[in-house]
Amino acid sequence: MIKMKKILLTVAYDGTEYCGWQKQKNGVKTVEETLENACKALFQMDCEIIGASRTDTGVHALGQRATIDVKTSIPTEKIPFAIRSFLPEDIVVRKAEEVEKQFHPRYDCIKKTYCYMYYHDDFPNPIFRKNSVFVHEKLDILSMNQAANYLIGTHDFQCFCAAGSQVSTTVRTIFDCVVEKKDSFVTIKITGDGFLYHMVRIIAGTLLEVGKGKKKVEDIPIIIESKDRTKAGVTAPAKGLTLLEIYYKLF
């Protein structure tokens, strides 16, 4: 007899053609609904996808996590191969593993890592237009890193939260935030216990202004203390953001 089991999927996707991760009532194309339909086709049963992070329209992922409850004779480790033909090329299930019934991909998460990528050169490169944002001005990477260091720790990040957020608290903990330049790419890699609405994109926009000399390194703690969204930088475009990893105590 085939028993019901809970499967944790690790999912990568190019978010360019999707209106975010979360399924919506207005019928627009989302990653969650596309994956859910693929699971229904593979397992021949209704499947509810529960995702770990609700990425916005145009945002990408390498390490999104989601669970499904299914009855299947397919070995768990073979699911990524079996589901591949039911998915479009811009969504890939990279890994599948069985977890305990009480596991929840969102509530059991202990930290997440995002990466924001700028393409820094004299001219844009069309090959990278979908997953990076072009910048041609000279950037002070050292100052950007110094500014990023001020973000590390537990703070009220209300200044980096877009309007429309519905959360009980804007306090979050950032474990690491590093700016690196390699060849033509400037990446901002940030790990925290959770992120507010558009938080990483606003941080990316603010650090870019530091890199351009429009804001000073020492402005960052003042901006945080102010809790004023208007004091921070612009919200960087969604296409430069990628969800890299979601961490759990079990993994």
Report the catalytic residues: 56
Q: Give CA–CA dist 167/82, Å, rounded.
A: 38
Dist. CA 8–CA 88, nearest whole Å: 20
Residue 118, by phi and psi: left (phi above 0), alpha (psi -120 to 50) or beta? beta
Q: Tokens for 86?
A: 């039911």
Residue 194 near residue 155, CB atoms below 8 Å = no
Beta strands in the chain (DSSP E): 4-13, 50-51, 60-71, 91-99, 109-120, 133-135, 153-156, 171-182, 185-192, 241-248
